[in-house]
């Protein structure tokens, strides 16, 4: 299966790259090609629409606030399953596109064992075996895959509830809600990780690129693979370069008697 999926993805990437551009500047690496970015934002948009319309149907309290967005109660009820179908289709292609780099490895186990240090921001540099995706990202991907299957099956049973046994509808209702809660929790963590927690990550889904510094900090094994360089050496060289630059600036300021400018430690700036 994997070679036909790879062939399909390769063709899709080439087709999309003809229509959209990714400009990689000096000191940057290509992270996500146009095809991946288009798929990601289709998944994100259809997911948010499904979530909002789903909440509106689920809770009468939210009903009043959210249903006007979709043109009223009956329209929301009509649209929700279609948003869900669109989400499942978009994610299906995303699933295929990322299937290979999302395979679980020993490096992910190691990353998971140290997850607390990353969450608490005690260690900014990921273990050197961390590849294109880390263990947390892979867990999120597999959570979405499982939830998408649950959504699809239970969603169809709820959609056609007049031809389905009552108990099956009741079970589907509970499972559909649980999957939505799990996805919501993952989504909140994902937005935080993709924006505020790791500056420089968001541009990978807009421009498609990341800086070398970002790559050697968060995905050292991927950096080593695509550049052929040692991430730790480059990190330390950059630390030395910044320390040297600081020393020169301090010397200049002392001789010119200028007020000192504080810009953090060199360590902070190479991550």
> Interface with ligand HEM by CB under 6 A: which residues?
31, 40, 43-44, 47, 133, 137, 140-141, 144, 187, 190-191, 194-195, 201-202, 204-205
DSSP per position, the chain:
-HHHHHHHHHHHHHHHHHHS-----TTEEE-S-HHHHHHHHHHHHHHHHHHHHHHHHH-HHHHHHHGGGGTSHHHHHHHHHHHHHHHHHHHHHHHHHHTTTT---HHHHHHHHTHHHHHTTS--SPPTT--SS-HHHHHHHHHHHHHHHHHHHHHHHHHTGGGS-HHHHHHHHHHHHHHHHHHHHHHHHHHHHHTTSSTTSGGGGTTSEEEHHHHHHH-HHHHHHHH-S-HHHHHHHHHHHHHHHHHHHHHHHHHHTPPPPP---HHHHT-
Min separation Cβ 88 and ligand HEM, Å: 11
Compute the least distance from the CB of residue 67 to ligand HEM, in Å: 21
CB nearer to ligand HEM: give 49 or 242.
Answer: 49
Comparison of 82 and 164: residue with beta carbon closer to ligand HEM: 82
- Minimum CB–partner distance for residue 188 and ligand HEM (Å): 10
**Position of minimal CB gap to ligand HEM:** 194
Residue placing its CB nearer to ligand HEM in the complex, 191 or 248: 191
Q: How far is CA 185 from CA 47, 115, 145, 178, 192, in A?
A: 13, 17, 15, 11, 11
Q: Which is nearer to ligand HEM, 31 or 176 (CB)?
A: 31
Cβ 252 to ligand HEM, closest distance in Å? 39
Based on CB atoms, which residue is closest to ligand HEM, 94 or 172? 94
Nearest-angstrom CA–CA distance, 77 and 79 = 6
Q: How far is the CB of 74 from ligand HEM (least distance, A)?
A: 26
Least separation in angstroms between residue 109's CB and ligand HEM is 17
- The residue among 207, 160, 150 whose CA lies nearest residue 182 is 150
Shortest distance (Å) from residue 47 CB to ligand HEM = 4
Q: Which is nearer to ligand HEM, 102 or 242 (CB)?
A: 102
37, two tokens: 């970015």
CB of 201 to ligand HEM, least distance (A): 5
Q: Which is nearer to ligand HEM, 70 or 95 (CB)?
A: 95
Distance CA 100, CA 6 (A): 9
Using the minimum distance from each CB to ligand HEM, give the nearer residue, 135 or 175: 135
């Amino acid at each position: 299966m994997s070679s036909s999926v790879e062939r399909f993805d390769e063709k899709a990437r080439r087709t999309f790259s003809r229509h959209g551009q990714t400009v990689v500047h000096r000191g940057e690496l290509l992270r996500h090609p146009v095809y991946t970015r288009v798929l990601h934002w289709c998944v994100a948009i259809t997911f948010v629409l499904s979530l909002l319309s789903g909440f509106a149907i689920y809770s009468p309290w939210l009903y009043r606030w959210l249903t006007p967005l979709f043109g009223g109660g009956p329209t929301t009820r009509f649209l929700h399953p279609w948003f869900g179908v669109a989400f499942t289709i978009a994610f299906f292609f995303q699933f295929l596109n990322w299937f290979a780099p999302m395979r679980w490895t020993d490096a992910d186990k190691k990353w998971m064992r140290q997850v607390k240090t990353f969450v608490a921001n005690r260690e900014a540099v990921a273990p050197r075996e961390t590849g294109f995706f880390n263990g947390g990202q892979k867990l999120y991907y597999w959570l979405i895959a499982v939830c998408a299957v649950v959504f699809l099956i239970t969603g169809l049973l709820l959609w056609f509830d007049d031809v389905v046994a009552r108990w099956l509808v009741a079970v589907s209702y509970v499972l559909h809600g649980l999957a939505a809660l799990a996805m919501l929790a993952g989504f909140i963590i994902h937005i935080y990780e993709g924006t505020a927690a790791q500056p420089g990550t968001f541009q990978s889904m807009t421009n498609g690129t990341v800086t070398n510094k970002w790559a050697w900090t968060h995905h050292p094994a991927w950096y080593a693979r695509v550049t052929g360089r040692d991430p730790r050496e480059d990190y330390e060289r950059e630390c030395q370069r910044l320390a040297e630059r600081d020393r020169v600036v301090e010397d200049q300021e002392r001789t010119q008697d200028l007020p000192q400018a504080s810009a953090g430690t060199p360590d902070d700036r190479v991550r």
